[in-house]
Chain A
């Protein structure tokens, strides 16, 4: 056989030239700081001194640090409240849109809170929930309720923070789910309708099972984002530190690093977050593989 092997193309020079800016940015601002961050977590470093190696000291300290465990606990509480409310509302909203209207204007309007900085959203709700002058509390008093909703209430603070962020991201999440619902073949609904199935039944038996892969992806992406809550709690206390009930892990790291200048310790806490989010990502991969759509 006179096999004519096509000459293997090799774009070595062009290839790396095309990659140059991205690889440069990656090396300097992702890879190098990752290595440096791991190193800091093993040092005593206050920004003013040079990092001094202390072994696993920072990690040992973590175990006895009640504030750290509290931060993990309140963050988990936040994530559960936020993800459950946001996903449930978004799912309902997406289903309503899917069955009622294709209006772009409506979708654009629902997207507005997502476009706005979390700082603005925090300020806006701090104002709406102001104990004396806020619209929401005025309304509550108007209907004869005794409760004052406030970010300073140990009981209400975290549910409020979670609801505020759910308010901000429900529209966005709903649009992602809605896009997934558009993939469901229309004829399934038509035949179900002929068979006399109601809307709720169709949602349960058609929409939900076929949406599973998109829902799983949306869920895990929002989950990872949710762990990184910072802006809202940094703003609603008027620039002061949050109360312990809302001192989330991101804020705790920020506080350790830039209020107390415990850079090494902050890096160790951040390492814990890396591990937690890494585990969640593995979970994401497994869920994605396990959840190929029945449509595919």
Chain B
């Protein structure tokens, strides 16, 4: 491994440690602020430990305390319910990730293995759509959702990305092309049809890439802001990112309600952090462009 001098080696580790601290410390500060009573923000700004640690900020953003108590703790007293928003976010990203992965796997399989006229043209057109930036289709899609009466509904929220993204189709097709045909040929001799082949043989063989693309989709939809901001304004369809934006605007005039905002922010980090803890190895090892030839 490293072949420099002792000093060089120490310097390299020091640089790596610095990067780690710079990455993690802001999150520590987020949690620290969320546990601090609002009034205490104005004294020990840089004490690393929260002064008079409290859970009140979490309780008020989760809608567990009345407006009076919330105002006393530094909030605006306006109704806010991050429990609901978290649930909406989970539904939003969960639905999109499962349905989209399944549909794109079907298409990827057809593009990789089935033969029919028009196949390559259809694939080419889908790949060309990779070049269109999301904002361009977002404007007409908003008009469409409005015309269909889908604003502030879960279908309106998920539909545009529910069935496909060009990238997922491309990614899964490339993977199906890379698996050896022998298994499928053997199954075909035994009279397994295309559907049985896909469902009983190809899907179980492809668990790794399917999980990879589903996880990536969960992460991206979890982070989505602009589309849910336009289509999911109402309380029932408000996801976490939009909830945070609304909460920010409700802040009392003198200054943003930082302790409440950081409590809400912690809630937007915890679920993906759990994902990382349980699936971290898979997620980390799936980030590999060079395997995507």
Contacts and interface: CB of A to CB of B under 8 A. Distances in A.
B251 A238 contact: yes
A135 B45 contact: yes
A48 to B, nearest CB: 11
A89 B159 CA distance: 38
A9 B115 contact: yes
Contact of A18 (B126, B198, B225, B291): B198
A183 B181 CA distance: 26
Contacts of B194: 11, 14, 18
Interface stretch (A58-66, A78-86, A107-115, A150-158): A107-115
A1 interface: no
Interface residues of A, number: 105
A198 B115 contact: no
A119 B244 contact: yes
B116 A239 contact: no
B46 A100 contact: no
A74 interface: no
B186 interface: no
Contact of B26 (A97, A125, A214, A218): A125
A127 B41 CA distance: 11
From A37, A230, A257, residue with most partner B Cβ within 10 Å: A37
Interface string A244-277: 0000001001100110000100110011011001
Nearest to B281: A104
A13 to B, nearest CB: 8
A273 B284 contact: no
A106 B291 CA distance: 22
From A9, A14, A93, residue with most partner B Cβ within 10 Å: A14
The size bracket of the interface on B is: 35 or more
Contacts of B244: 117, 119-120, 123, 235
B290 A258 contact: no
Contacts of A53: none
Contacts, number: 303
Contacts of A138: 45-46
Given A12-B117, A110-B23, A117-B268, A100 B13 contact: yes
Contacts of A227: 133
B109 A34 contact: no
A21 B139 contact: no
Contacts of A9: 115
Nearest to A173: B287
B24 A112 contact: yes
From B12, B222, B225, B255, residue with most partner A Cβ within 10 Å: B225
Contact of B12 (A21, A28, A99): A99
Given A119-B244, A175-B284, A278-B131, A33 B144 contact: yes
B27 interface: yes
B135 A250 contact: yes
A19 B133 contact: no
A69 interface: no
B45 A199 contact: no
B110 A18 contact: yes
Interface stretch (B76-84, B206-214, B272-280): B272-280
Nearest to A13: B116
B140 A40 contact: yes
B95 interface: no
A216 to B, nearest CB: 10
Given A24-B163, A93-B19, A115-B219, A30 B132 contact: yes
B104 interface: yes
A199 B8 contact: yes
A207 to B, nearest CB: 13
A22 to B, nearest CB: 4
B289 A111 contact: no
Interface string B145-182: 01000000000000111111010010000000000000
Contact of B245 (A106, A180, A239): A239
A267 B139 CA distance: 7
A291 B108 CA distance: 27
A22 B249 CA distance: 38
Given A228-B133, A254-B226, A14 B195 contact: yes
B98 interface: no
Instruction: Please give me the 9 A-B residue pairs with the lowest Cβ-Cβ distance, nearest first.
Output: A25-B163, A33-B140, A239-B249, A18-B110, A22-B107, A15-B116, A11-B114, A36-B140, A21-B103
Given A37-B140, A278-B131, 16 more contacts: A22-B106, A29-B141, A31-B125, A33-B138, A33-B140, A93-B16, A96-B15, A100-B16, A108-B280, A125-B26, A135-B46, A171-B23, A176-B289, A235-B248, A274-B132, A274-B136
